[in-house]
Amino acid sequence: MSTATARKEQENILDAASFHARLDDILPVIEAKAQEAEQLGRMTDEVVSILRAGGFYTMLFPREVGGAELRPVEVVSLLERISHTHASAGWCAMVNNMEGTTMAIYLDQKGIDHVFAERPDITIAGNGVPRGFARPVDGGYMIKGNWAYGSSIFHAEFVHSGCFVMDAAGKEMVIQENGSPKIIVAHHPRSTIKLLGNWDVLGLRATGSFDYTLAGDEELFVPDHMLYDFDVLAPRRGGAQGNLGLAGYSALVHTAWATGVGKRVLDELAKVIRQRQDPFGKSSESASFKFQFAEAQARYRAARALVYETWTAISDSTAQGDAPSLDQMTMAKLSLRHIHDVISDVGTFAHRAARGASLHNTVMQRFYRDIHAGTQHILLADQIVEECGRALLGLPEEGAKWTVFGINN
């Protein structure tokens, strides 16, 4: 086989259409294993294995490290399908894509050579929101802490952990010129932590989002090449798309998850209603229900349309070599919150309209619970929406950029 032919075959494997074709075969397995995963409190080994083998954990990774580097809007459509099948499977896939991609675009080359020494399809989990502390030492930092919500961490090979930076003595927090604390995201092997086994929650039960802490000594050394600054803006890899950064990639994958679970809860409601007859007659013939169901569909589809409009525009910009604009990033943040608000409302409507069908341990109940677990994420905080309003009013200074929790001026 010629080099050109081999390269073309590899490109075909990595294009969006090929990913969708592979999903056609994989989704029935994910559906069949969903209940087992719920009982385990984590994804089954089989489902993780087929998602990894299919490239679904590395769809966003830069091609420099062996990832597919799909356009953001293409990843929305793929994560939407996985999440529609099993919310926890979609959640774990989005976590690996977001955390792995940001690691791949920000670590220096020595760190990349270490992490991706054997293969591109590494697994990574943890919590980049700072719950730990780091003090500088020669060549890196000593970190310690207790972290929560390590989604998909049971199957992780690497862990990423957000830490507040302290002074060399580890006593005073380092405050930056803008008044905010300095934060780093440290990456370390799964063997360096222990899981606390406390994932007993309302929804997203199969994500295995356990709390974790360090396994050995009170502190762990993490070298400079295995960490990056939480507010970093310039990517080392990933081309223009890499400029999405932590703020953009996190908004992207959580938004995609919401589009999938929102559709599934409405699909399940339609199944229930078509079959149900009670003392008031056939539920599908109720004028009141039909009106409310149509309104719920309209709200969901309008929110989904905003998602695709937003991420199509961003994908087009990055494909042309342009970084996302402040307005585009603002809409990414705003559409993230909006789609979650909508699925929360339509999920509650579906739960009430289904009556006992959602009270029992059914697929519909599971998606209702999963929706109301997903809406608790810190990325949906009101303060971020306030920042969206500030941007839409044109108040930020020229050159302002989005960070994870707000605009940097």
Sign of the CA dihedral running 353, 357, 363, 369 = positive
Q: What is the model's pLDDT at position 12?
A: 52
* Residue 368 located in a structural domain: yes
**Helix intervals (H) in 320-381:** 326-354, 356-359, 363-374
In the listed set 110, 137, 169, which residue is the last one of a domain according to the structure? 110
Same domain for 186 and 137: yes
Check which CATH number belongs to the domain holding 342 and give it: 1.20.140.10
Residues 204 and 303 in one domain: no
Domain with 104 in it: what CATH number?
Answer: 1.10.540.10
Structure token pair of residue 212:
């974790």
Residues 153 and 98 in one domain: no
Looking at residue 141, its pLDDT comes to: 98
Find, among 376, 371, 104, the residue nearest to 261 by Cα.
371
What is the model's pLDDT at position 6? 39
Percent of the chain topping pLDDT 70: 97
pLDDT computed for residue 256 by the predictor = 98
Residue 254 CA to residue 333 CA, distance in Å, equals: 10
Residues 249 and 365 in one domain: yes
Sign of CA dihedral 319, 323, 325, 326: positive
Examine the domain organization and report whether 132 and 184 are in the same domain. Answer: yes
Between 35 and 218, whose confidence is greater?
A: 35
The closest of 113, 110, 80 to 260, measured between CA atoms, is: 80
| Residue 397 · residue 343 · CB < 8 Å | no
- In a domain? residue 357: yes
State whether 388 and 269 are in the same domain: yes
pLDDT of residue 77 exceeding 90, the answer is yes
**Structure confidence by residue, pLDDT tens digits, 10-29:** 555 689 999 999 999 999 99
Residues 68-88, mean pLDDT to the nearest whole number: 98
User: Do 248 and 377 fall within a single domain?
Assistant: yes
Residue 196 lies in a domain: yes
Answer yes or no: is 397 within a domain.
no
Q: In this structure, is residue 90 part of a structural domain?
A: yes
For residue 115, tell me if it sits in a domain.
no
In this structure, what token pair is assigned to residue 181? Answer: 């604390």
pLDDT of residue 7: 43
DSSP 394: T
Question: Running DSSP on this structure, what letter comes out for residue 182?
Answer: P
Contact 293, 354 (CB under 8 A): no
Specify whether 205 is located in the same domain as 254: no
Closest listed residue to residue 248, CA positions, set 84, 379, 408, 67: 379
Note whether 198 and 261 are same-domain residues.
no
Nearest to 97 by CA among 127, 122, 64, 73: 122
Mean pLDDT of the chain: 94
- 118 lies in some domain: no
Q: For residue 218, what pLDDT band results from cuts at 50, 70 and 90? A: confident
Domain range for residue 88?
3-110
The rounded distance, in Å, linking the Cα atoms of 21 and 78 is 10
For the cut 80, the answer to whether the pLDDT of residue 81 exceeds it is: yes
Give the residue from 110, 133, 154 where a domain finishes. 110
The string of DSSP letters for 133-156 reads: EEEEETTEEEEEEEEEEETTGGG-
What DSSP string runs through 365-385? HHHHHHHHHHTT-GGG-HHHH
Count up the domains in the chain and report the number: 3
Mean pLDDT of 128-157: 96
Residue 254 shares a structural domain with residue 381: yes
At residue 136, does pLDDT exceed 60? yes
- Taking alpha carbons only, the member of 235, 241, 226 closest to residue 184 is 226
**Residue ending a domain, choose from 229, 264, 283:** 229
User: Any idea what the CATH number is for the domain that residue 221 is in?
Assistant: 2.40.110.10
Residues 153 and 87 in one domain: no
What digits encode the pLDDT tens for the residues 232-247?
879 999 999 999 999 9
